[in-house]
Amino acid sequence: DIQMTQSPASLSASLEEIVTITCKASQGIDDYLSWYQQKPGKSPQLLIYDATSLADGVPSRFSGSRSGTQYSLKISRPQVDDSGIYYCLQSYSTPYTFGAGTKLELK
């Protein structure tokens, strides 16, 4: 099974910062990597797909990148509405696996 090691588990950021969340895959996943945002009491929402492509309607302050088997989600100048839990997902091979999640708090 492919393990997705996500970090950090939580972070508190100011509105002027650049927030970076990473997921390291235990093996190559050919960019079958997507990012989701989940707000309390809501279902996850797609942010980034194919590692770097922005989903429809997602603000341009969100971006995705890859370096080797490490994938990153960057939020530039986050807004208060960006608070929530962020998950990565590898869908390269079954069992599909999510990262453990990163709880983002904006201060």
Partner 1 sequence: EVQLVESGGGLVQPGRSLKLSCVASGFTFSNYGMNWIRQAPGKGLEWVAYISSGSSYIYYAETVKGRFTISRDNAKNTLYLQMTSLRSEDTALYYCASRVLGAGYFDYWGQGVMVTVSS
SS3 81: helix
Spell out where 8-107 has E strands.
Answer: 10-13, 18-25, 33-38, 45-49, 53-54, 62-67, 70-76, 84-90, 97-98, 102-106
CA–CA distance, 33 with 23 (Å, rounded to integer): 9
The verdict on 94 binding partner 1 (CB under 8 A) reads: yes
CB of 21 to partner 1, least distance (A): 14
Work out how close the CB of 96 gets to partner 1 at its nearest, in angstroms, rounded to a whole number.
4
Binding mask 5-44 for partner 1 (x = CB under 8 A): ---------------------------xxx-x-x----xx
Q: Give the interface with partner 1 as residue ranges (CB under 8 A).
A: 32-34, 36, 38, 43-46, 49-50, 55, 87, 89, 91-92, 94-101
